[in-house]
């Protein structure tokens, strides 16, 4: 495993107990230059995870609490007339940070949601005709309440596609929960965390991800997976080429975290549920077998060539 | 979102493939087609290439009718080989103008396949075969491209797949070739116009006719002798015998008595196998004089070997000849009379000289000697380009020009003899031949065509006299090129100076001979021969059909069995194939790899289930992962991997 990432993951694991897989997926998502969507009920540690990541990586952190009356200007920033200089002065919004936690993103109106998502895609914000670049690296962790909760505007598929991965944290197991209940205050622990890498190091790692070797055999497997979603009547619609790229980059990032310079089928299989979970839906009337997700069915159905 | 059911449309890439395939299939026909058909092909091809809007149906029908009318105007028929091919080419081309759907393209492709076959109506040589193989490859690649709707595949892959398909067809082709029932003669009736333009001896001889033939390097026939071949001066291959002179050209009279006169032979016979190129005439060539005749032939009135049918395809036959013979000691009166006839008028000087010889001579043999001495001692020259002769051609040749080719010498000699009262006639055929050291056979070309004379002497019968030998002895001993004086324009193939060119030519001819003998010459006789060696005595066509079906069936069964046994697609990664063996071995030990289980996961599970195998299976999996997924796998890793798996297979008992 890559030493710096290893250290970061183990530090995060001390605060968020029993969620090592999710932490590592979040790291992989970050290394693959993607954005992360965490969907779960309140109180399982979504916000804490975002905090920890920002702290460990030494990134500038901003949190935006999405509510139904949040306006795009509240996210992006606004120009205010300055009497002294006799001109409009731009007050950057909370989005001008390296790591954004967009909390409960599906509680805001679609207008505000799209303001955020445009910025995520383009890594820049255009306000009043002026284009302003966002800081690098730029990483958004959005949290989402489950759809059935009251007062939510579900993100449309096109917007969901902007997130590289969607993970859920879930309840901790009994042992982790016991440790949590016995342990000290998480907030204070976070503030005491020391960054284990600097901005340039993270950028270099992100660069390394793209050089991880992907053999023709692995691409065959990836394409077989994509083809299956497009041909099988099981799914509503097949995975897009963008989803294919997302799978590829995530697998590369995972391989890098494992300390390898090449990716293999297991990498793809580990990241696949996170990457395709929010992009793949069973076709109408296809509920699938009990307790199997679309991603699980996909992995079961396609053989490794 | 899904494009699976999108309508198929002909893309430019497939279009280009199709045009190229058709152009290649049509190209060799163009010299044989009227020029306007070639232009039509070019125009339609260009239209398709720049994707002009296709014409309306009524226009297309008019165009097709006009083309058919044009072909009828060119050939005065729509049937037969040439007109049929022209019609096929034109209609295939016009098909392009209504190629809108996949089906239209398929039709064009299948007509192209058919067009490939028509080339064999004209030529069956090795280069033709190789070229047409290439064309079939391109057409097949086109077929693959068109039937590959999803995405356009790479041209290289397309060609490789086509080559694999053709390669897979080879065993079936061999079975069909060997066992398809053969009938004597062509399998289907060839149109009569298929035999035009074959070169060879003709049944008349005028000054210039043989010298023109001698410019051709085409092979007349090939001979393989059972023992050593006879000496060059004995290699007289008898063709048509000409006994009627009309003042200018010699020709054969239709003989009322087809039975040849008596023959007595002495000395050792020469037996040989002769492969005669088709020449669309009835005579078969044989060494003087044939005693044992090939089947379906008879000896003509002048000892020439005649087939029952014109030789329209390459004919292979065995014959036995006796170089020492006495023939026609007691000829009929009509035969002798015919051999003395001359035109009533012309060539007075020659008649006069012959008359003087006759008066002075004791017997006919002396007259023959005087004539040969004339050619030997006077200033006669052997030449491929003699001056043209007028009405009294014999006079002009003997007294003025004195330059001539064998037909001049043979013709004037026979004239002299007849004028002197000695029965004589012209014999045409071939003389000499070139030994091919690689194949140990003799090649006789059209350039070896020759004319000589036969005189009838009392007590000796018909005796061969070659006046050309008196003028140019080297023609008989060493061939045409040696006999011609320097500076004469030589037929290209008669040049002897370039050693390696000569060698190349001989090797090529050997190859062609083998092709003719074993591929094109694989007829009923050879098939029976092969089958009887395989244990089929006197195979009927029914037995052949059964063995054919059984053979093809067995082949397909063997092939599918092999594919099933391998259980991996052709062209799979060798590392993957070895890994499958490893997995099968573990499966027999009760650890079955799931289809979607990655190699590392599988190794881990194996280690858990069978800790004794943990070490070997982990190291094998690591090697496999390195070979299959890591950058720059190398061959030594693959060998190492194969070795480990083999060791693993023997380590684990079944």
Q: What is the pLDDT of residues B486-495, one digit of tens each?
A: 556 555 555 5
The pLDDT of B409-434, averaged and rounded, is 89
Q: Which residue of B has its CA nearest to A302?
A: B596
Nearest to B74 by CA among B38, B98, B42: B38
Residues 6+ apart with CB under 8 A from B597: A304, B605
Are A38 and A187 within one domain?
yes
How is B376-390 classified by DSSP, letter by letter? Answer: HHS--EE-SSPPP--
Biggest CA–CA distance in chain B, Å, is 123
pLDDT band at B190 (very low <50, low <70, confident <90, very high): low
Option in B2, B599, B629 nearest A230 (CB): B2
Q: Cβ(B443)–Cβ(B310) under 8 Å?
A: no
**ipTM of model:** 0.84
Q: What is the pLDDT of residues A85-116, one digit of tens each?
A: 888 888 888 888 888 888 888 888 888 888 88
Q: Which residue of A has its CA nearest to B575?
A: A217
Dihedral sign, Cα of residue B446, residue B241, residue B236, residue B371: negative
Are A290 and A177 within one domain?
no
Query: Is there a domain that residue A207 lies in?
Result: no
Residues 6+ apart with CB under 8 A from B494: B217, B447, B479, B480, B481
Q: What is the pLDDT of residues A152-173, one digit of tens each?
A: 787 877 778 889 999 888 888 8
Question: To 10 degrees, the CA torsion angle through A253, A254, A259, A261?
Answer: -60
Q: What is the DSSP letter of A236?
A: S
Q: What is the pLDDT of residues B9-25, one digit of tens each?
A: 444 478 888 899 999 99
Check CB contact under 8 Å for B1 and A237: yes
Q: Which of A1-10, A134-143, A186-195 has the highest mean pLDDT?
A: A134-143
Residue spans of beta strands (DSSP E) within A21-146: 36-39, 61-65, 77-82, 87-92, 99-103, 124-127, 130-133, 139-144
Per DSSP, helices labelled H in B180-230 are 209-213
Q: Any bridge partners for residue B325, and if so which?
A: B265
A276 pLDDT more than 70: yes
Check CB contact under 8 Å for A230 and B631: no
B579 pLDDT more than 50: yes
Q: Which residues of A touch B597 (CB under 8 A)?
A: 304
> What is the extent of the structural domain holding A68?
3-199
Q: Which residue of A has its CA nearest to B594?
A: A303
Option in A263, A299, A303 nearest B629 (CB): A263
Are A20 and A151 within one domain?
yes
Check CB contact under 8 Å for B596 and A231: no
Lowest mean pLDDT among A20-24, A211-215, B476-480, B605-609: B476-480
Are A170 and A269 within one domain?
no
CATH number at residue A91: 3.40.50.300
How is B159-175 classified by DSSP, letter by letter? Answer: HHHHHHHHHHHHHHHHH
Q: Which residues of B touch A238 (CB under 8 A)?
A: 1-2
Are A186 and A107 within one domain?
yes
The residues of B assigned a catalytic role are 406, 450, 466
Are A192 and A296 within one domain?
no
The whole-number pLDDT of residue B139 equals 94
CATH number at residue A292: 1.10.8.80
The pLDDT of A289-300, averaged and rounded, is 77
The whole-number pLDDT of residue B132 equals 95
Q: Cβ(A35)–Cβ(A161) under 8 Å?
A: no
B5 pLDDT more than 60: no
Distance CA A92, CA A77 (A): 4
Stretch (H or E) spanning B427? strand B424-431
Count A/B contacts: CB-CB distance under 8 Å. 49
Q: Which tokens belong to A56? A: 């460990």
Q: Which tokens belong to B203? A: 């049944």
Q: Is A41 on the interface with B (CB under 8 A)?
A: no
Distance CA B311, CA B200 (A): 11
Q: Which of A296-300, B34-38, B300-304, B629-633 has the highest mean pLDDT?
A: B34-38
Nearest to A265 by CA among B594, B179, B559, B182: B594
The whole-number pLDDT of residue B68 equals 92
Which of A140, A174, A199 is a domain's end point?
A199
Are A154 and A245 within one domain?
no
Query: Is there a domain that residue A40 lies in?
Result: yes
Q: Cβ(B450)–Cβ(B430) under 8 Å?
A: yes
Are A16 and A142 within one domain?
yes
Q: Is B1 on the interface with A (CB under 8 A)?
A: yes
**DSSP SS3 for A64:** strand
Are A123 and A254 within one domain?
no
The whole-number pLDDT of residue B333 equals 78
Are A117 and A247 within one domain?
no
Option in B2, B595, B629 nearest A264 (CB): B629
Distance CA B599, CA B616 (A): 13
Which of A166, A199, A232 is a domain's end point?
A199
Distance CA B601, CA B256 (A): 98
Lowest mean pLDDT among A27-41, B164-178, B281-295: B281-295
Distance CA A71, CA A113 (A): 9
Residues 6+ apart with CB under 8 A from B554: none
The residue ranges of every structural domain in chain B are: 12-147, 204-251+265-489, 574-651
Q: How far is B167 from chain A (nearest CA, A)?
A: 26
How many CB atoms are located within 10 Å of the residue B563 CB?
12
Q: Is A262 on the interface with B (CB under 8 A)?
A: yes
Distance CA B324, CA B340 (A): 25
Q: Is A210 on the interface with B (CB under 8 A)?
A: no
Nearest to B353 by CA among B367, B337, B334, B336: B367
Domain count within chain A: 2
Which of A169, A199, A229 is a domain's end point?
A199
Check CB contact under 8 Å for B2 and A265: no
Query: Is there a domain that residue A193 lies in?
Result: yes
Question: Among B583, B598, B623, B633, which would you mutate to test the A interface (most chain A Cβ atoms within 10 Å of its Cβ)?
Answer: B598
């Amino acid at each position: 495993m890559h030493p710096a990432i290893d250290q970061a993951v183990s530090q995060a694991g001390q605060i968020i107990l029993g969620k090592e897989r999710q932490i590592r997926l979040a790291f992989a998502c970050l290394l693959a230059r993607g954005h992360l969507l965490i969907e779960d009920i309140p109180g399982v540690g979504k916000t804490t995870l975002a905090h920890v990541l920002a702290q460990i990586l030494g990134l500038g952190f901003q949190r935006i609490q999405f509510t139904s009356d949040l306006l795009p200007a509240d996210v992006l920033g606004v120009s205010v007339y300055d009497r002294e200089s006799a001109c409009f002065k731009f007050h950057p919004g909370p989005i001008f940070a390296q790591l954004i936690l967009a909390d409960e993103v599906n509680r805001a109106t679609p207008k505000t949601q799209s303001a955020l998502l445009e910025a995520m895609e383009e890594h820049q914000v255009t306000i009043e005709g002026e284009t302003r670049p966002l800081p690098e690296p730029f990483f958004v962790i959005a949290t989402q309440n489950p759809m059935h909760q009251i007062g939510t505007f579900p993100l449309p598929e096109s917007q969901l596609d902007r997130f590289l991965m969607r993970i859920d944290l879930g309840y901790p197991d009994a042992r982790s929960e016991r440790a949590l209940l016995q342990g000290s205050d998480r907030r204070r622990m976070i503030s005491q965390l020391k960054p284990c890498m600097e901005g340039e190091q993270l950028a270099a790692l992100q660069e390394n991800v793209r050089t991880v070797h992907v053999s023709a055999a692995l691409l065959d497997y990836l394409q077989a997976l994509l083809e299956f979603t497009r041909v099988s009547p099981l799914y509503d619609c097949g995975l897009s080429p963008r989803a294919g790229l997302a799978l590829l980059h995530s697998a590369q990032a995972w391989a890098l975290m494992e300390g390898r310079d090449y990716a293999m089928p297991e990498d793809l299989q580990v990241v696949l549920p996170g990457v395709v979970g929010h992009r793949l839906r069973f076709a109408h009337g296809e509920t699938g077998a009990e307790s199997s997700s679309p991603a699980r069915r996909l992995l079961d159905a396609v053989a490794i060539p | 979102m899904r494009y699976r059911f999108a309508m198929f449309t002909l893309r430019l890439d497939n279009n280009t493939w199709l045009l190229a395939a058709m152009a290649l299939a049509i190209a060799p026909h163009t010299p044989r087609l009227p020029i306007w058909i070639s232009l039509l092909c070019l125009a339609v091809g260009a239209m398709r290439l720049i994707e002009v809007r296709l014409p309306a149906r009524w226009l297309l029908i008019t165009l097709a009718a006009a083309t058919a009318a044009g072909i009828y105007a060119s050939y005065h028929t729509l049937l037969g080989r040439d007109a049929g091919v022209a019609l096929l080419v034109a209609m295939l081309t016009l098909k392009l103008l209504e190629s809108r759907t996949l089906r239209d393209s398929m039709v064009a492709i299948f007509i192209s396949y058919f067009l490939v076959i028509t080339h064999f109506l004209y030529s069956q040589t090795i280069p033709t075969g190789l070229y047409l193989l290439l064309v079939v490859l391109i057409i097949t690649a086109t077929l693959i491209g068109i039937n590959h709707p999803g995405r356009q595949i790479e041209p290289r892959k397309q060609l490789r797949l086509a080559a694999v398909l053709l390669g897979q067809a080879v065993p079936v082709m061999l079975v069909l070739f060997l066992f398809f029932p053969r009938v004597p003669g062509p399998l289907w009736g060839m149109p009569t116009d298929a035999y035009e333009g074959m070169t060879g001896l003709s049944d008349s001889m005028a000054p210039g006719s043989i010298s023109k033939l001698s410019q051709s390097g085409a092979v007349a026939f090939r001979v393989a002798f059972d023992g050593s071949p006879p000496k060059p001066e004995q290699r007289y291959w008898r063709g048509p015998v000409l006994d009627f002179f009309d003042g200018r050209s010699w020709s054969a009279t239709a003989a009322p008595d087809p039975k040849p006169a008596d023959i007595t032979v002495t000395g050792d016979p020469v037996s040989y196998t002769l492969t005669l190129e088709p020449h669309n005439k009835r005579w078969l060539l044989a060494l003087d004089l044939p005693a044992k005749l090939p089947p379906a032939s008879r000896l003509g009135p002048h000892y020439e070997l005649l087939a029952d049918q014109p030789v329209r395809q390459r004919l292979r036959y065995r014959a036995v000849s006796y170089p020492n013979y006495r023939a026609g000691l007691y000829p009929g009166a009509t035969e002798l009379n015919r051999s003395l006839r001359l035109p009533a008028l012309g060539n007075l000087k020659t008649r006069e000289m012959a008359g003087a010889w006759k008066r002075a001579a004791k017997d006919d043999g002396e007259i023959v000697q005087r004539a040969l001495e004339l050619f030997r001692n006077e200033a006669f020259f052997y030449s491929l380009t003699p001056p043209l002769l007028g009405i009294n051609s014999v006079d002009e040749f003997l007294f003025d020009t004195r330059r001539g080719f064998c037909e001049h010498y043979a013709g004037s000699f026979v004239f002299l003899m007849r004028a002197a009262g000695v029965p004589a006639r012209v014999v045409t055929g071939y003389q000499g031949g070139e030994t091919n050291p690689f194949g140990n056979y003799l090649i006789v070309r059209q350039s070896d065509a020759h004319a000589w004379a036969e005189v009838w002497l009392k007590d000796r019968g018909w005796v061969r006299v070659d006046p050309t030998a008196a003028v140019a002895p080297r023609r008989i001993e060493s061939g045409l090129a040696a006999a011609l004086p320097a500076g004469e324009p030589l037929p290209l193939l008669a040049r002897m100076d370039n050693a390696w060119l000569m060698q190349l030519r001989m090797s090529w001819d050997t190859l062609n001979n083998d092709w003719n003998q074993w591929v094109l010459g694989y007829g009923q006789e050879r098939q029976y021969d092969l089958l009887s060696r395989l244990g089929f005595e006197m195979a009927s066509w029914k037995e052949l059909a059964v063995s054919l079906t059984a053979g093809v069936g067995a082949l397909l069964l063997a092939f599918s069995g092999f594919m099933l046994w391998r259980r991996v697609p052709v062209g799979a990664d060798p590392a993957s194939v070895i890994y499958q063996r490893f997995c099968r071995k573990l499966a027999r030990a009760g650890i079955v790899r799931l289809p979607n289980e990655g190699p590392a996961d599988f190794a881990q599970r194996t280690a858990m289930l069978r800790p004794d195998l943990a070490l070997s299976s982990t190291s094998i999996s690591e090697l496999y992962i390195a070979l299959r997924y890591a950058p720059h796998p190398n061959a030594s890793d693959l060998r190492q991997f194969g070795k480990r798996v083999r060791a693993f297979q023997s380590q684990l008992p079944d």
